[in-house]
Structures are given as C-alpha cells and as structure tokens.
Structure 1
Amino acid sequence: MKKVKDIMKSDLVTVKPETTLDKALELLLNENINHLPVLDPNEHLVGIVSDRDMRIAMDSPFLGLYPDNMKDRLHNRIIGDIMQCALQMIDEDSDVLKAAQQMREHKVGSLLVLNAQKKLVGILTEKDLVGHLIELLQS
C-alpha cells in the first residue's frame, strides 16, 4: 500500500498570518490550489486557509469574480483573521487509506503532512486521493 509521502504535494505554497487576503487570493488563483498552510515567522505551522474560507470572508460565492470595492476589503484583512487553527495532520509514512479515513471522519479536504521531526513537508488533498484512485483502477 502506498504511503502519504508517495502521493502528497511537497512543493508547498505557504503564507504568513499577516498576509493580506488579496495576496492570498492571488496565490490560490495563480497556483491553481485550494489550500494555503500558514506559517509563523519561525516557519512553524499555525493554521490553514482554504478557498472556502476565502469565499466566506468575501461574502461571495464566486472566488475569482469580485467588484473593485471588494479588492479594498480584501487588502485590509489578513489571513490571521480567517485561518483555521484546528489542524488535521498526518505523518508522511502513514498509509493512504488511513489518510482518506481521517479526511472523511473529520470532513476536511486536506491533511497537512509532517515528517518524523514534526516539520511540515507536504499537503494531501482530495485531488491527490482521486488521482491515486484513478491509478489503482487503471492498473
């Protein structure tokens, strides 16, 4: 059985708590991702923000479409105001099945992946699990 580290994304895009929402939105859109881990100045994991959190903060169901006055509202708010601090994490050597079960149990779209030293090394998303499932079904 594959391990989380075999299918996770390790090229992380992260933000700081003081990052403005407009900058975070730009990252989500430009990088075509749905989750941004939040690191403090010492590179410690302190939260996560998702595209869903951004939509709620914007009061808009359309992540990529917002009026000019919304840009000002986003520029005046920071990630620290909306990030989720109750984090779902998993060890990189855990089985993919365990990760999928944890995501389902906690109703989350991603897991932050830590190494043995408890350092953030990746993120596992629903997209990664679907890609793995497709590989299994094709083999």
Structure 2
Amino acid sequence: MPTKVSEYMTAKVISVKPDLGVREAFFIMRDEGVRHLPVVDDENQLVGIVSDRELRRPNWVDEDRDITHIYDLNNDLDVGDIMVRNVFCVHTYDSLSKAVKLLLEQRVGAVPVLDKTQTLVGMLSAIDLLQALDHKLDAERKR
C-alpha cells in the first residue's frame, strides 16, 4: 500500500489571515523557522499562500551588490495583497508519489495539506519527503 501524505506531513501548521501586514508575516516566518505561510479565512479554509519569495523586494536587482535589505518589511501591504491565490495543494489521503510529482512539476518547496472537507490540516515540504525517503531506505537496508 502506498505511503500517504498524512504520514509525513507537518501537522503543526502556522497559518495567517489575509489582513496581516507583510512585516508581521516576515517576523512570523523568521521566528517560527518557516518559509511558507498558508493564508486561511475564518473557517480555516485555504485562500492563498505566501512564501519568503513573495516578501522579497521586487526591485532588489536594481540595488547595489552589497545590499543588506532584500526583504520589503513594509506593513503598508497586507498578506492578501501579495499572496499566491492559485495554490497547489495535496490531501491527507494522497500518495507521497503524487506529492513528489506535484512539487517537481510546479517547482515549489512545500504545499498545504487539506483534509476531505478542504480544511487546512498541515504542510508537506521537500524536507518531509526526504525524511520519507530516508525511512524507506533504512527499511530496505534492514532487510
């Protein structure tokens, strides 16, 4: 039986609301050690995602090479203004194989995990998938 997403996803998901300022989102990412924040409505339904990529200053390429501020830490914008709305996601019951293909095809490092009611219940990252691979390799070595 194929391994399911629910077995390796990170269930402690840190999500934010669309009206949170981008400065606050940056500090949540930094303090929690995450690079992706799912954006949810009041019913915990996924409405978008923001990553450290969206927080990077769009004009940083015009700056000097010794730039020290690659993030636009301005609360004039809300997360809802910069979030990606067309979110690629997986479900708890999906196979890890399906998740791997999605991350590779879409060139993303993590995806939100939804349950059967479309409620956000976790995140699945490339690190989680590497952990699954490591467990599989360990099991094969022990045979």
Count matched residues: 132
SS at match of 1:75: coil
Tell me the TM-score normalised to structure 2 length: 0.82
| Partner AA of 1:24 in structure 2 | A
| CA apart distance, 1:137 | 2.4
Poorly superposed stretches of 4+, deviation over 3 Å: 56-60
Unaligned ranges ≥5, structure 1: none
Please identify the structure whose Cα radius of gyration is greater. 2
| Distance in 2 between residues matched to 1:136 and 1:57, nearest whole Å | 41
Residue 91 of structure 2 is aligned to residue 88 of structure 1: no
* 8 Å CA contact retained: 2:48, 2:86: yes
Other-structure match for 2:76: 76
| Distance in 1 between residues matched to 2:115 and 2:59, nearest whole Å | 34
Other-structure match for 1:131: 131
Unaligned ranges ≥5, structure 2: 62-67
SS at match of 2:27: helix
1:37-96 CA-to-partner distances (Å, cap 9, x unmatched) read 001233321100011111245848xxxx639xx54xx12211011100011111101111
| Partner AA of 1:21 in structure 2 | V
Q: Which one has the bigger helix percentage?
A: 1
* 8 Å CA contact retained: 2:37, 2:49: yes
Question: Matched residues, percent identical?
Answer: 31
Other-structure match for 2:56: 55
SS at match of 1:133: helix
| Partner AA of 1:109 in structure 2 | G
| Distance in 2 between residues matched to 1:24 and 1:58, nearest whole Å | 20
CA RMSD of aligned residues (A): 2.2
The residue correspondences of 1:1-139 to structure 2 (distance < 5 A) are 1-56=2-57, 59=60, 66=69, 71=73, 74-139=74-139
